[in-house]
């Protein structure tokens, strides 16, 4: 009887895992670091947008108030016939 030996496995070399040197970050640590940097950038961007939104809201209120003043002035001029046509 012929013996059934296990088939020979193909010679596949597996690369050793990346072993960080002292002071060197692993891939996952680098990814986490990049994510933290992006998170901080987004937080900064959000804060900047909040400030810009506040500034625009203040300018909007000022413009609306100026429009009201102009309307009041026009109404007074109409009442007293001061407006030129």
pLDDT, tens digit (0-9, with 9 covering 90-100), for 55-70: 999 999 999 999 999 9
Residues 33, 16: Cα–Cα separation, whole Å: 24
Distance of CA 19 to the CA centre of its chain: 34
Model pTM? 0.53
- Kindly report, residue by residue over 7-42, the tens digit of the pLDDT: 566 566 665 555 666 666 677 778 989 999 999 999
Residues 4, 9: Cα–Cα separation, whole Å: 14
Task: Assign 72 a pLDDT band (cuts: 50, 70, 90).
Answer: very high
Local structure of residue 85 (DSSP, 8 states): -
pLDDT (0 to 100) of residue 26: 73
Pairwise pLDDT comparison (4 vs 59), residue with the higher score: 59
């Amino acid at each position: 009887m012929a013996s059934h030996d296990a088939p020979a496995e193909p010679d596949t070399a597996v690369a050793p895992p990346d072993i960080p040197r002292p002071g060197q970050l692993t891939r996952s640590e680098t990814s986490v670091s990049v994510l933290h940097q992006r998170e901080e950038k987004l937080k900064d961007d959000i804060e900047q947008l909040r400030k810009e939104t506040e500034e625009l809201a203040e300018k909007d209120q000022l413009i609306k108030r100026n429009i009201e003043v102009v309307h009041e002035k026009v109404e007074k001029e109409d009442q007293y016939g001061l407006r030129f046509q």
